[in-house]
Structures are given as structure tokens and as C-alpha cells.
Structure 1
Amino acid sequence: MQPLPFAALALAGLATTATGAGATEAVTYHHQQVDGLSIFYREAGAPDAPVMLLLHGFPSSSHMYRDLIPILSKRFHVIAPDYPGFGQSDAPDAAGYAYDFQTLAQTMETFTEGLGLTEYTLYMQDYGGPVGMRLAMTHPERISGLIFQNATIHVEGWSPDVVAQFAPFWAERTPQTEAPLRQFLHPQTTRWQYEHGSTDLQRLSPDAWTHDQAGLDRDGNDAIQLEYLWSYQDNVAAYPDWQDYLASARPETLIVWGQNDPFFTLEAVKGLQNLLPDAATYLYDAGHFALETHADEIGAAILATMGR
């Protein structure tokens, strides 16, 4: 399977530059070879600045950070990769490649090491949560801070409606239990993920769900995404370990959250706050993909609170 054609990448917009104090640097686009796979990533900011690693969610890619990267590059060296099976990264056939979160985290770890990244703040949205928490657990010495954006590590943080869809699938994988999960791959669902809970639809760019759906619609990608969804149960099983790590290590943490998220509720925020009482929390009148409407506000919160 091939990555998205370059024309789709153009939806991300032109590289952004500015002048004067706190100027942004051009957003550039690269590929890194990782264990035989070509991993695409976006990069911006001064190379000697503190590193911010942006880990994306389903069904998006680093494209979801297109508005945030120029803001963060004023202070951080920003790196935003696409996972295997997403965006511009390679997407080998699911029959010959392990699309699970342990493998994904290992790939991202090798990716960071290939770039010589020895310390970074993790921005984690959705799938970025389980990827980032594995990176943090494996190499806590590399973590200078964590940012949670609509990424839960608590069972209580899941919407009951979503649990009802996943539970039968994880209990016994059959065509019947798989069918509700296939709904997540449909165009109307992709658009719904962006629009549901958003109170400022005029700020939602159709490029977001159009770009995501182009990836989902590639030949063989349904099998890839179903493997990731099947593997997500391993993340739930790891929640207690991740909670113990946060309660013990107490890394500098920021919570930024679209409070109308149909997947991960405000109970997820409460769980993080209980573990990390010193974490700053900002709630936005937005949905699962809060960056689509509140990138400026979230970017300002990060610059005001992280790495001071």
C-alpha cells in the first residue's frame, strides 16, 4: 500500500514563516527509515530548542497538527510523525505486518532515536496516549513533560456508548462483533468525529476529514485499522501501570481538552487530575479534535505553561 499522494499533503498548507521576536521557522517535510519502513514527519523550530513530539490520533495523521506546529515552533523544536498505516508513512499489508500498539510504540521509539532525540515533551491525542505512555514507561529519563489532549488512561473516561461497541469485539472477534467497528471507517463517521461537540462549525476545515478519509479509503487500509482497534484492548489492560507511573513520577503535565468529546469524557480529565494535582487544565467548548477550532488557544496555553 502506498502513502497518500502528495496532492493530499498539500491540504496541510504552505510552510509557515514569520519575522521578529519569537519568529516561527519554516515547516519542513521529511521521511525517516525505521526498521524498513518510511516514516513521514513534519518538523519546525530551532534545532537546539526543547523538543516537542506530537503524537496523533485516529483516523488522522500529523496533518491534525498543521495549525499548532507554527505556534509551538516559536519555542520548541517540533517533530510530528505519521504512524505506519497513516498519512504519508508506509502502510505494509496487514497480513505481513504487526499493527499493534506495542509495535507502534517501538517504531516511534526507534524513530526518535534515529533523529537523535534524547529528551522531549509529548503531546498526546487519542492514539497518541497509548503510544506516548509506552514511550514514557520505557524511557522515563527522556520525558521533560506531557500534554494530554482527549487521550484517556482511565476506563471511567470512556463513553458508555463506545464501550458497548468495543466490548463484544474484544471478547470474541467475529464478523458480527467486527461490524460496529467498521462503522468507524465510513466517511460519515469520520466527518462526525470532527463535527460532534464542536460549537464553532465555521472554524472546522473540511480538509481535515477529507484528508483522513483519503487514508482510510486506500486499498487494504480497513484491515490495518481493524488490527489497531483490536489491539486497543492491550492499552486498557495497561492503564493501571500507566496510572502508577504518573502518580509516582509526577512529570510536568498540561491537560487541554475538548469537553464535548463523544469518546473520552470529562471523567478522563478527573482521573488525570487525581493522579497529577499540579497539572494545569484547560477545557474548551469543542469536540474530540479540539485543535481544529482551538489551535490558537491550546498553543497559547502550552507556551504559557510548559518548559518555563
Structure 2
Amino acid sequence: MAKKKKKQKKSGNPLWTLVFLAALAVFCFSGYKLIGIYLNYRTGTDEYRDLQQYTTEITKTPETPVPTKTVDKSTKSEAMTGSEPEPAPLDYPATPPLEVDFDALKAINPDVKGWLYIEALDISYPVVQGTDNDAYLHTTYEGTSNFAGSIFLDYQNQGDFSDGNTIVYGHNMKNLSMFGKLKQIKEQEKYKDSVYFWMMTPESNDVYQIFSAFYTEADSDVYTLYSGGGEAFAQYLADMAARSEIPAAQPPMDENSHIITLSTCAASDTTGRFVVMGVRRNR
């Protein structure tokens, strides 16, 4: 009786095994990195959400209509002659949206300079200033190392927003935190909701009217500080207004104006920037 031949077990192609293991390793590593990025984003978001406890929303009360008076025609001309002219109505918000506890914020971080609030974009963050522009690039308000960093003033600016042009930086975060929503002013036409933003400080609450928003480069003349004002600054304001990529109304501006330039990256892989510029209106 002939012996039955034993069936040989076929082994898999070693090349395909190596490819599979390599792909699995890449998948696991990518998953690990994504989880790390998610946790990093969440840590930063949670920290800034907790800081909101040091702000109180100011409830706006409806304005009481001014009662109309019936003027006798016979005395109208006499009354008009001796009366003071009616004050021009405000064309900007007069009441700040938030009350900020700066004493509590300074206890956490004495580098705080103000609190930025942009109603149209739902942006509300403390603003700090370091000894250089790297100090808060990847460091949060509470000193944690985090890619989100902080919203911060250019280190060369005066911390009281008294320069002609004060520059405020923030990251263009993918989860739309920090200045991740700033481009919506143009792309989603959020300026139609409101053209004002507020900078609350320990000394004052100031409202700024957006007069320009556009894409530019990191080495652009946009980032000129103009601490002294003058004719050159007046020309700069006109040039910046002319560059606007949104149809913003032009508020009163001159060589004595004070503006804030909000700046963020246009994309992570370019030197492009997106800026929103507003001029102070209430003082």
C-alpha cells in the first residue's frame, strides 16, 4: 500500500507580512499622535473655559423711549432759538459686555493686560504680554505647555494699549479655539453680525470698530507699531483701510487714533497671515 504524501503547509509571503506589520505600526503611531493632539487641544480648551468664571456677563436693559413733547406752534420758534442742540446719538456700543475680575486673574498670572471679547465670533479670552513673542506662543495663561498658547500682545507694545497700533496674536486652532474663528469675519461674513469688539482692561473698557480685514504676509508693513502717531500713521491707516477684503464702513480716524490689529496664521504650512483691524471709538 502506497504511503500517502503529507500535505505541506503553505507559509505566507514574508514580504506581505512585513508590509502588513509596517502598516499596522503606522496606524498605531498615527492613532497615538491623534489622541495626543486631541488631549492637548482639550487641555487648553478646558483651561480657558475655567477662566471664564472670572468674568460676569452684563445684562443689557432695554433703553427707555424718550417721551415726545407737543410743542405749541406759537412758541416753537422761541423754544428752538434758546434751546441747546440735541447731542448726536452714539453709533457704537456704550456698555461693555463683561465685567472682569482682574484682581483674581492677576493672582493667577500677573502678565494679564486685558480681556478680548468679539461678539460676532464668540471669542472671549484673557490677553497677556511676555518679555518676547515666544513666551506665550505655546504656553497657556496658567503657564502650561500647550500648542494653543495664549492670546498675547506684541512684546514691543505698551501694555496699556496706548500705542497707535497694538498687535494681538493668537493661534489659528483647528478646533476653532483661540483665533481659529477669526477668518470667519471674511469667509462667513460675520462682520454682518457685528463690527465691534471690546478690550476690557483694569483701567478702562474700550470698544473698537472693525475697519479692515484681509490676508497678508508675516513680514508685511501691517505689523508696524506706530507708537508716536503722526502723518505717517495717518497714511498707514488709510492704506490699511484700502486693503480691506470686507466692505467695512470707515469710522473716524486720524493721526491720534488708536487701533488694535488681531493677527493669526492663514494656514499652518504657509507664512500667510489673516488680520482684523479695529479703531478705538469711545475715548
Regarding TM over 0.5, the answer is: no
Q: Higher helix proportion, which one?
A: 1
Q: Higher strand proportion, which one?
A: 2
Q: TM-score, normalised by structure 1?
A: 0.27
Which fold has the larger relative contact order, with Cα–Cα distance below 8 Å and residues 6 or more apart in sequence? 1
